[in-house]
């Protein structure tokens, strides 16, 4: 009887833990992908996971695909030419911010944009989190949508509210219809009161025509690995020659 009670208790605790993890979406330090249709006035936001984990993982990852595809639900019949995409992550407490950009260098629009921009981003996260799930759909007419908060209902497209002076933050997906690429960089901004220049991360973000996002580390392979590889090939050659 005691063993059964312990097993039931353990199962209950595991269920609670899993439920807690299932609700842990659209939090601080999570990379968010937002794709919106400017004609249907619908946006689909997807939590791609912890930004620190994404940045520390070497090689190529495909995130936000399958059930989390941006092409599901409200955007299933959308034309690529009507879709725009942006990526961002924020930690308001630490004054940390990650923003996508189609440029190779990126700076903030002065230091005053931090308060308005980070506050707007945090507001969208809260709104998305309240809808439940890792991928959510929201009408762009909602006062806390990405479109309203960060694109200024069309007056600040790609500027993340007042962060960027140029519309670099998002890209149109029309190129995907003809086999082209939609590739963006990711910049880190650490407390713009001390610096407004973004630090380009060793990561390339590609929005895929299949509905996912490919993130690839740009960290070069150390020369030592090339030497080790050539050495191993040499040993294999010697062994074959002896045989």
Note whether residue 101 is domain-resident: yes
Look at phi and psi of residue 86 and say left if phi exceeds 0, alpha if psi is from -120 to 50, else beta: beta
Domain membership of residue 243 (yes or no) is no
Flag whether 20 is in a domain. Answer: no
Half-sphere exposure of 211 (CA within 13 A, CB side): 17
Angle at 105 between CA 103 and CA 108, to 5 degrees: 100
Instruction: Tell me the C-alpha distance between 150 and 118, whole Å.
Output: 10
Closest among 29, 33, 25, 52 to 184, alpha carbons compared: 33
How many secondary structure helices (H) and strands (E) does the chain include? 5, 10
Please report the pLDDT score of residue 124 as a whole number: 95
Given this model, what pLDDT does residue 22 score?
A: 45
85 found inside a domain: yes
**What are the helix (H) ranges across the chain?**
2-22, 51-56, 113-131, 146-149, 223-242
66: left (phi > 0), else alpha (psi -120 to 50), else beta? left
Q: Which residue has the tokens 């960290």?
A: 219
Helix, strand, or coil (residue 139)? strand
In a domain, 242, yes or no: no
Contact 30, 48 (CB under 8 A): yes
In a domain, 241, yes or no: no
- Note whether 66 and 158 are within 8 A (CB): no
How far apart CA 168 and CA 190 sit, in angstroms, is 19
What is the reported pLDDT for 242?
53
Q: Determine the length of the chain.
A: 243
Structural domain contains residue 229: yes
Answer whether residue 30 is part of any domain: yes
Domain around 34: 26-235
213-217 and 199-207 beta bridge pairing? antiparallel
3-state secondary structure of 125: helix
Q: Please answer whether residues 210 and 69 qualify as being in contact, where contact means their C-beta atoms are separated by less than 8 angstroms.
A: yes
Tens place of pLDDT for every residue, the chain, 243 residues? 444 443 433 443 333 333 344 458 999 999 999 999 999 999 999 999 999 999 999 999 999 999 999 999 899 999 999 999 999 999 888 888 999 999 999 988 877 777 777 889 999 999 999 999 999 999 999 999 999 999 999 999 999 998 898 999 999 999 999 999 999 999 999 877 766 889 999 999 999 999 999 999 975 545 444 344 444 445 445 444 554
pTM of the entire predicted model: 0.81
Residues 185, 183: Cα–Cα separation, whole Å: 7
Instruction: State the DSSP code for 197.
Output: B
Report the pLDDT value the prediction gives residue 219, as an integer from 0 to 100: 56
- Number of domains within the chain: 1
């Amino acid at each position: 009887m005691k063993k059964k009670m312990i097993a039931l208790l353990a199962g209950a605790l595991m269920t609670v833990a899993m439920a807690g993890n299932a609700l842990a979406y659209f939090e601080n330090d999570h990379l968010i992908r937002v794709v919106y249709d400017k004609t249907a006035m619908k946006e689909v936001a997807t939590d791609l996971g912890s930004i620190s984990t994404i940045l520390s993982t070497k090689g190529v990852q495909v995130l936000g695909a399958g059930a989390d595809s941006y092409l599901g639900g409200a955007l299933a019949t959308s034309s690529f030419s009507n879709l725009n995409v942006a990526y961002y992550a924020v930690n308001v407490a630490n004054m940390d911010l990650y923003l996508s950009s189609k440029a190779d260098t990126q700076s903030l629009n002065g230091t005053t944009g931090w308060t308005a921009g980070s506050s707007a981003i945090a507001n969208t996260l809260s709104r998305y989190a309240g809808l439940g799930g890792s991928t959510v759909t929201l009408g762009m007419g909602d006062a806390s949508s990405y479109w309203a908060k960060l694109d200024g209902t069309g007056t600040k497209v790609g500027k993340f509210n007042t962060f960027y002076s140029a519309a670099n933050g998002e890209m149109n997906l029309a190129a995907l219809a003809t086999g082209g690429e939609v590739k963006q960089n990711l910049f880190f901004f650490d407390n713009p009161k001390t610096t407004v220049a973004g630090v380009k991360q060793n990561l390339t973000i590609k929005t895929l025509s299949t509905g996912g996002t490919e993130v690839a580390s740009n960290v070069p392979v150390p020369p030592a690995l090339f030497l080790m590889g050539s050495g191993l090939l040499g040993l294999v050659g010697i062994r074959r020659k002896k045989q």
